[in-house]
Each structure stands twice: as C-alpha cells, then as structure tokens.
C-alpha cells in the first residue's frame, strides 16, 4: 500500500472510531472488529514501520495530528473547539492509539509525541488495549476524578483515596456491589465526555460533589458504609438517566 493509501486508511480508521462510546462490556470486541476491518492497513503499517529507517514512522505519525488540527481550525469559537477536542482526545486515547499500538509501538509513541507538540493544551499519553481495558477497574474513577480535578484536587487527594479504598475494600465485596461498580465503569466515560462538552461543566461537577461525593466521604468516615452504597448507587442511576 502506498503512503497516500495508508494516509486515507488511517483517516478512515480515525473517523470510524470518532465519538464511539467507550463501554467496558464491549471494549475488547470493539477493538477486535477494528482490527478485522483494517487488516490490510495494519499489515501495511507493520511493513512500513518494521525497519531501522524512522522516516516512514515520522511521515505516518503526522497524518492524524495534522488531520485533526485542520478540522479544529475551521471553528472560530474556542468553546466549540474545546467541545470537539474532548471527543478527539477520547478517540485517540481509547481507540486509535491502542489500535495502532498493536501494530507498532514506535508509531503509536511518535504519533502521541506529534499530537502533543501540535496541541500542547490538549496533551494525551501513550495507551494500549490492555491498559484501557484494565483501567475500567484499576483507578480510572472517571466521574469522581473529573469532579476533583475541576475543584483543583489532585489525583492523589484524600477524597479520591478514601473513595477508591471504599470501592475496592467494601463495595466490591458486598451483595450487588460488583454490579454497581460494573454499571459505573460502563457509563462513566460517556457521562464525563458529555458533561465536559457543556458550558456548565464546572457547575455540574460542583453539584455532583455537593450532592453525592462529599456526603459519601462523610458517611464513610462515620462508618456508615451501607448508607454510602445507597447514595453511590443513586448517583450512578441519576447520572445515567440524565446523560445516557
């Protein structure tokens, strides 16, 4: 496959996963279908990047960042660009980069580097299928993390530490608790994505903090773990109805 055809193939791959919902229950099947639908492209990418000459990698790594930059530049509104950037980042981190990473880690790594050079205000990290799939249960507390970041609390803040310990040590070991956690991690990425695209995202996160997260932390501190479970479940149900 010539470079022009590989360029078209990479853009088609990117567009096919743009705004695709991230769902724990279907993620591995989604990745499998992506690979099946792009067998020729992946074979050609492997051949083009399998060698000591990094020139091919450099050309290929610029294709999608350039494509997205061109797309974003057509919107004069900063707010509109930010809304689209949320979808672009989700696509890159959850689908495009992990898929490319199965073919060439060097190409995936360089694509991320070029992306971050051309979009310094919207940096992403190198990701793999295994990391994303494993992340549904291992620390990607999407909504609570988004809330805490909005309120200028770090990923290692006391509140997130308390909630993660509660999730892993108590909730996961209760009747129905695993179901609550599974539901949360199935829908949380889409919920965060949709909240971030609203003009009232900060206000919404503040409301979630006031109504659910802070009260949950208080209940945990009082040893009222079951009451926290009820409130935690109510948060999942409420946000699912509102944003799914």
Q: What are the structural domain ranges in the chain?
A: 3-117+126-133, 137-243
**Under 8 Å CB-to-CB from 58, ≥6 apart: which residues?**
110
**For residues 187 and 192, what is the distance between their CA atoms, to the nearest angstrom?**
9
For the chain, report the end-to-end CA distance as a whole number of angstroms.
40
pLDDT tens sequence across 124-161:
778 888 877 765 544 446 678 778 878 887 767 778 88
pLDDT tier for residue 2 given thresholds of 50, 70 and 90: confident
With H, G, I as helix, E, B as strand and everything else as coil, classify residue 25: coil
For residue 126, what pLDDT is reported?
A: 81
pLDDT tens sequence across 191-237:
887 888 888 888 888 988 888 888 888 888 888 888 888 888 888 88
Q: Around 236, how many Cα atoms within 13 Å sit in the side-chain half-sphere?
A: 19
Q: HEC profile for 59-107?
A: HHHCHHHHHHHHHHCCCCCHHHHHHHHHHHHHHHHHHHHHHHHCCCHHH
Average pLDDT value for the chain: 83
For residue 135, what pLDDT is reported?
A: 55
For residue 1, what pLDDT is reported?
A: 53
For residue 140, what pLDDT is reported?
A: 45
Q: How far is CA 82 from the centre of its chain?
A: 15
More confidently predicted of 52 and 214: 214
- Contact status, residue 163 vs residue 216, Cβ threshold 8 Å: yes
């Amino acid at each position: 496959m010539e470079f022009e055809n590989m360029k078209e193939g990479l853009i088609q791959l990117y567009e096919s996963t743009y705004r695709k919902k991230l769902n724990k229950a279907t993620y591995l099947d989604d990745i499998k279908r992506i690979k099946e639908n792009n067998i020729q492209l992946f074979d050609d990418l492997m051949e083009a990047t399998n060698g000591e000459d990094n020139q091919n990698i450099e050309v290929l790594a610029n294709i999608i960042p350039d494509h997205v930059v061109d797309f974003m530049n057509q919107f004069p509104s900063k707010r509109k660009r930010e809304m689209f950037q949320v979808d672009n980042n989700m696509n890159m981190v959850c689908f495009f980069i992990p898929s490319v990473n199965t073919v060439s880690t060097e190409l995936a790594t360089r694509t991320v580097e070029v992306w971050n050079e051309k979009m310094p205000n919207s940096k992403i990290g190198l990701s793999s299928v295994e990391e994303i799939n494993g992340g549904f249960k291992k620390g990607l507390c999407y909504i609570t993390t988004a809330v805490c970041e909005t309120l200028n609390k770090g990923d290692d803040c006391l509140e997130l530490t308390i909630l993660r310990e509660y999730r892993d040590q108590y909730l996961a070991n209760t009747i129905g608790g695993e179901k609550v956690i599974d539901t949360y991690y199935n829908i949380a990425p889409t919920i965060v994505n949709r909240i971030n695209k609203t003009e009232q995202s900060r206000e919404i996160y503040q409301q979630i903090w006031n109504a659910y997260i802070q009260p949950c932390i208080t209940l945990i501190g009082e040893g009222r773990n079951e009451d926290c479970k009820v409130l935690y479940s109510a948060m999942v149900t409420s946000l699912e109805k509102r944003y799914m």
